Amino acid sequence: MKHLEQYQNIYFLGIGGIGMSALARYFHAQGKNVSGYDRTETVLTQLLVREGMSIHYVDTISEIQEQIDLIIYTPAIPKDNQEFQYLEKSGIPMIKRSAALGLISQGSKAICIAGTHGKTTTSTWTTHVLKTGKVDVSAFLGGISVDYGSNNIIGSSEIVVIEADEYDRSFLQLSPWMASVSSMDPDHLDIYGDDSSMKEGFKKFIHLIQANGYLIIKKDLLDHLSDSDIKALKDKNVQIIDFGFDDATIQISNVSIKNGKFVFDYSGLGHEISGIVSNMPGKHNIENACVAITCGLICGIEVEDIKVAISNFKGIQRRFEHIVETSSSIYIDDYAHHPSELQAAIEAARMLYPHKKLTGIFQPHLYSRTRDFADGFAEVLSQLDEVILMDIYPARELPIDGVSSEIIFDKIANENKLLVTKDQLMTILDHKRFDVLLTLGAGDIDTFVPKIKKYLESIG
């Protein structure tokens, strides 16, 4: 296969995905002719069109651009898609998104951020630390950075930050110079089959770290690496740096909340950094910040620049994003779609607003994830003061017999609960008042955010 730079006309199948759109923006910025297909028009695809890309939303061969040198596709595209079937037989080079990212990482000093949760926040925060420290970094992110207004940042240095996605084992295409792993909770069992197979996937990713590279890993995850795993890394002179709140190479301590912001100390790599202030709530975000700080120190960023970057980081759209703050209501939107992510979001809200009533609207994402984690979802949602549960957002999946939101709803211990359809949601909300409202999920629940915002602002 030719180097990616040699392709001029690039076609994206599934261009509207957050990872695909980042790649599309990368190639478009290089002066490539970028076009593509996606099933639905979104705010993101509208932005891509305004930036100069050609996109259509009907699965038909007639809409495909005539001049194509390279096809990049997402595994979320169903194999019965007409365009996929046609292009697969066309003889034009065709690669997955992960393979394109892999080729980019091979020619760079790639900082690859992995974990079943937190990788979007951590990769974006790391990018912000490096840019604040005057490193002209490139980045491929799994969300829209509020600071930079994009999921793709183009820089001139050899350093690139890449969100390392475990879905479809995509991260096994990467060549990390530096890799972080902050969580390995079971997820994507439709791909991996079981928890142990997924953890094996993470171990394979870790072994891809280049010689003289770095592994930054949450301390309790070291237990999943065998003596032979550790030896193999050390034989390549990979420096293993564990972090945590207890006895670890990188120590987080003295966590407190002051004026609605989290404050903590960082100790490690020869540095004692005290009084670090973060706008991002929750213990999990302190861990995310710890990775970003560590990456920054390894890259030679000054401590004062790191403290500034941690404190003024504005976050990512749909990651505990404050939408409304009035005298009577607080409204936060979050992408959480796994029990551990829901736990983190609810815990952060409790810490910030300990005496207020928490209401959560949750839209389950995928039939398979609902089936696999129904008990976990119910247990976490029961911690809310009020639960509004929506129908499952299917995304790429067909329905599974016996799987619906009801299997979660029936197990929620909190009696203050409602099961609603999308059509019913705004009518239900119209009769309610909220102290703190959370919308949670990775489906199309975000389409309700402007409507909920308008409603809450109208009632003051």
Tell me the Cα Rg of the chain.
Answer: 22
* Catalytic-labelled residue, pool 120, 121, 126, 439: 120
Residue in 83, 163, 287, 397 annotated catalytic = 163
Q: State the Cα–Cα distance between residues 95 and 117, nearest whole angstrom.
A: 26
Alpha helical stretches, state H, 96-250 = 97-106, 119-132, 189-192, 195-206, 227-235
Of 96, 119, 131, 417, which residue is the catalytic one?
Answer: 119
* Positive/negative CA dihedral, 34, 40, 45, 50: positive
State the Cα–Cα distance between residues 269 and 135, nearest whole angstrom.
Answer: 20
Q: Produce one character per residue of 305-322: b if its CB has 16 or more CB atoms within 10 Å, e if not.
A: bbbbbbeebebbbbbbbe
120 is catalytic: yes
Burial category of 129 from C-beta neighbours within 10 Å (exposed 0-12, middle 13-18, buried 19 and up): buried
Query: Up-side HSE of residue 325: CA atoms within 13 Å toward CB?
Result: 3
Between CA 423 and CA 204 the distance in angstroms is: 44
Let me know if 415 is a catalytic residue: no
CA-to-CA dists, residue 23 to 32, 76, 100, 174, angstroms: 11, 16, 8, 15
CA distances from 420 to 279, 414, 432, 442 (A): 33, 16, 14, 17
119 is catalytic: yes
Give the catalytic positions in this structure. 119-120, 163
